[in-house]
């Protein structure tokens, strides 16, 4: 059922020609204890820039040798957590997002076996943890706040705090990572979350596309005004 729902929301190469720097992340899904879980990472404190300690999905910028967004996501997952590309059942690419550096970030969704043994690259990842996917529609600890992008576009930021019994500590998940996780959960479960979202849930595909187009248009207009 999850595979079928995800394929209905596959955007393919629809946004591949937009003139923005490109990046991609892998949203690795696995079944643990009969429930879908998402693999997330904690970025190493050695990572340059503003990503130190961030909770995120495996992924980063596209390199010249990458054929497409899927290639980027799989390469980064291998480099960061030791996930071999052939061990990922790639299902789809979901609606992209735009990060604070105005990179076009494409989420690639794939299934991995629950037997996968994580081997984090300490230069990039300090920890790996799993969160039940349903937590991103029915959280215990959640808050939201408004955020204005550098282009002046007002949007909603989701912020989840997940208490991980396995690691005996809490992980804070927010920003674009939370945005992708929420959308993934909405697509798969097809039910209303316990919090407000920026989509028409009765027309999720079209409203998510409109959300992205408005976000992109605000950046494009800002670029033109700068020129």
Domain borders along the chain are 1-225
Read off the pLDDT band of 52 (50, 70, 90).
low
User: What per-residue confidence (pLDDT) applies to 50?
Assistant: 54
Element (H, E) at 17: none
Weakest-pLDDT range from 34-38, 80-84, 126-130, 145-149: 145-149
User: What per-residue confidence (pLDDT) applies to 227?
Assistant: 47
Read off the pLDDT band of 100 (50, 70, 90).
confident
- Topology of the domain comprising 1-225: Nucleoside Triphosphate Pyrophosphohydrolase (3.90.79)
Which DSSP state fits 165? T
CA distances from 156 to 55, 147, 176 (A): 18, 6, 10
SS3 of 10, please? coil
Read off the pLDDT band of 226 (50, 70, 90).
low
pTM of the model: 0.94
Distance CA 110, CA 27 (A): 6
Distance CA 91, CA 6 (A): 7
Angle between the N-to-C axes of helices 204-226 and 175-189, in degrees from 0 to 180, rounded to the nearest 10: 150
Weakest-pLDDT range from 34-48, 80-94, 113-127, 135-149: 34-48
Non-local (6+) Cβ contacts of 96 within 8 A are 11, 15, 104, 105, 106, 107, 212
């Amino acid at each position: 059922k999850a595979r079928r729902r995800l394929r209905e929301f596959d955007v393919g190469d629809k946004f591949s020609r937009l003139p923005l720097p490109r990046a991609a992340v892998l949203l690795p899904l696995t079944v643990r204890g009969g429930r879908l879980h998402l693999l997330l990472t904690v970025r190493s404190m050695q990572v340059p820039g503003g990503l130190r300690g961030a909770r995120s999905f495996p992924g980063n910028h596209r390199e010249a040798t990458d054929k497409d967004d899927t290639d980027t996501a799989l390469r980064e997952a291998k480099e960061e957590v030791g996930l071999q590309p052939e061990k990922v059942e790639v299902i789809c690419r979901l609606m992209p997002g735009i990060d604070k550096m105005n990179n076009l970030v494409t989420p690639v969704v794939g299934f991995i076996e629950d037997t996968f043994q994580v081997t984090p690259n300490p230069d990039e990842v300090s920890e790996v943890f799993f969160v039940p996917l349903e937590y991103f529609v029915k959280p215990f600890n959640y808050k939201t706040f408004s955020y204005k992008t550098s282009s002046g576009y007002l949007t909603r930021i989701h912020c989840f705090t997940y208490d991980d019994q396995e690691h005996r500590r809490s992980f804070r998940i927010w920003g674009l990572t939370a945005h992708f996780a929420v959308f993934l959960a909405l697509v798969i479960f097809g039910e209303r979350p316990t919090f407000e979202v920026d989509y028409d849930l009765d027309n999720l595909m079209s409203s998510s596309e409109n959300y992205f187009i408005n976000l992109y248009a605000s950046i494009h207009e800002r670029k033109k005004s700068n020129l």
